[in-house]
Structure formats: C-alpha cells, structure tokens
Amino acid sequence: MGIGAGVVKYIILTPLTVVGFVCMYIYGGGIITLFTTFQYLFSGHYIEAVLEYFFFSAMPPTSIGHVFLNVIVGSVAAGVKWFIAMAMMGHRL
C-alpha cells in the first residue's frame, strides 16, 4: 500500500476508534482555536482575542456539529501532516 491510500485510510479510519476520535477532537479544536484567535490578534483587538481563545478552548461544545467539525478538521490536518512526513522520508505513492 502506498502513502496515497494510506492517507485516505488515516483520515477515515482514525476517528472511528474511541482514542482516535478524542485525539482528533482535541487536535482539531486547537487548530480551529488558533485560526479564530489569530484574526483578532493581528487586527489589534487583544481583549477579543483572549475572550475568543477562552471560549473556543475552555468551553464545552455547544452542538454535535461543533464536535464533528473539530474531528474532521483534526483528522484532515493530521492526515496531511502524516502524508508530508511519509513523502519526505521517501516512501512511494
């Protein structure tokens, strides 16, 4: 199996386990939090940046869609990161 098929399996199958689901939720939540916080931080609204960071990272999810969005973002980001690492090690597609 090449890394092309491996990345698809990584993205799809990792969230199907309990540990994978929780890990991808945490990883995706961190990525989403950073992106939403950076827009306030770079615009000079530091108080809003701190509040946004707190609400996105410390507060529980408000809907089931929020949970699945975190898992999807985390799974895709981790899959792309895995793909790049494998490609740089010289594995074949």
Kindly report the pTM of this predicted structure.
Answer: 0.83
Q: Supply the pLDDT for residue 92.
A: 72
- Of 13, 18, 26, nearest in space to 73 by CA: 26
Q: What is the pLDDT of residues 54-77, one digit of tens each?
A: 877 777 888 999 999 999 999 999
Could you give the CA distance from residue 17 to residue 44 in angstroms, rounded to a whole number?
A: 41
Q: What are the domain boundaries of the chain?
A: 3-88
